Amino acid sequence: MPPKWSLGYHQCRWSYESAEKVKEIARTFRDKGIPCDVIWMDIDYMDGFRCFTFDKVSVLRLVIGWEHFSDPESMVNDLHARGFKAIWMLDPGIKKEDGYFVYESGSENNVWIKKADGEPFVGEVWPGPCVFPDFTQQSTRLWWANLVKDFISNGVDGIWNDMNEPAVFKTVTKTMPVSNIHRGDPELGGCQNHFHYHNVYGMLMARSTQEGMKMANSNKRPFVLTRAGFIGSQRYAATWTGDNLSNWEHLHMSLSMVLQLGLSGQPYSGPDIGGFAGNATPKLFGRWMGLASFFPFCRGHSEKRTADHEPWSFGVECEEICRLALLRRYRLLPHIYTLFYLAHTKGTPVTTPVFFADSTDAKLRNVENSFLLGPLLICARFVQLIIRGKGRFGYFDGSIPKPSSTDPSFANWDIQNSMVMACLICDIVPEICDKMTVRREEERCRIMLGGSSMASASSINSKSSTPLPWLLNTLTLAALASRFGPTTPKKPLGSFTANP
């Protein structure tokens, strides 16, 4: 089970350049009332990209008086006081440098991957020439876990394993030669070349990282995010869909990727909201937030030299869209948390394709713009929903039918003992909505909840003038209120703590 706080919204960038900038981001989230639980530190927090170090002096200190990350514990204490967690990146490439304690320790313990001639393999990554731990050995995994355990003492709440395919610069394959040698444990296959172990390298690194976090505090659930994985990696880490682009095609692809990862056994995944590379528009960012706020892993992330991609960076209208979308994610956290428990105990995905509702309906297997968030919530495009007694409903495009309609084109599903809720989120209309429009739309919805009643959302399609593209409608809010209590969170935003 993941820690509960990790199901909230995460904010990341490559990179927030100083502790002061991180604290400014945290303050802004709270001042604006936008839900957020986690802020991430990308690779630039390190001293020269050396893992397990902090860059304590920067040019910023000389120019404007800012220190970089001179006192990470103090910064983390400030974040914790505001209800945030802090996640820090660790890569597998260890700088080959005499005097660097991680390199010295690894060499003493003979943990590096070897070339065919028996010498440690050296490849170029962010710090320059690097060596790479051989995570196929239990002794190496224990060595790394102890480094992680000591690293946690700085107030680290979670760890991000990036570049762990492993990625290597200045090579055609973008990774190390397949002729490199791993001295793997017998149960993993023993001594084999990299061709044999390449696909499991990232998973074994995530496993070692998670074990180190458990060693640091066995009473806390660890959180690890990994870029590379394999079958079984869901036992150790969440994953994300990689370096995407800020465009509509990648927004559409993100849904299919999350669903396919779930079907492949990884229930905890999500994209970089708004796109990692390039500059999102307000329309794109708002729609992406509306969709991804229902994904298992919900994180905004962007690269260097792009415009700011925090929720307030696109104007007040888009900011309000993001605020409402995330508030509604937080109201759904009891449901999402339950789905993670089912994933943990039964292996069921958190998000599923709509054909999970009726495996006999072949038409549902072609639906790529809608999904289920458990049997309780349907996230759909061009949706009108009719609830017809005891959880039976029809899902379709077009005009609202009469309750007695028996049109065979409807996809009729039975969901036992569930309250069905409609969600209007993505690809519906082009305009950015404002508060008044949202209120007018909610007033038009007639909601009647009960055993034999009918509830319908007003007609919305791609040509509609109603600007409600990213928001749950009133039906969802009423259903949530009846099931989970008041819609206003009782705790301050960001105060979700992990239970052992």
Residues identified as active-site = 162, 165, 243
Task: Compute CA distances 408 → 105, 270, 394, 395, 412, whole Å.
Answer: 69, 35, 10, 11, 9
Report the C-alpha gap between 387 and 393 in whole angstroms. Answer: 5
Q: Residue 499: what are its φ and ψ, rounded to 5°?
A: -100, 140
**The two structure tokens encoding residue 187:** 């149960």
Report the C-alpha gap between 276 and 302 in whole angstroms. Answer: 4
**Which residue bears the tokens 């959880």?**
391
Say which DSSP state 202 is in: H
Q: How many residues does the chain have?
A: 500
Which string of b and e fits 446-475 if b means at least 16 CB within 10 Å?
Answer: ebeeeeeeebbbbebeeeeebbbbbbbbbb
Report the C-alpha gap between 48 and 13 in whole angstroms. Answer: 18
273: left (phi over 0), alpha (psi -120 to 50) or beta: beta
Contact in structure between 133 and 144 (CB atoms under 8 Å):
yes
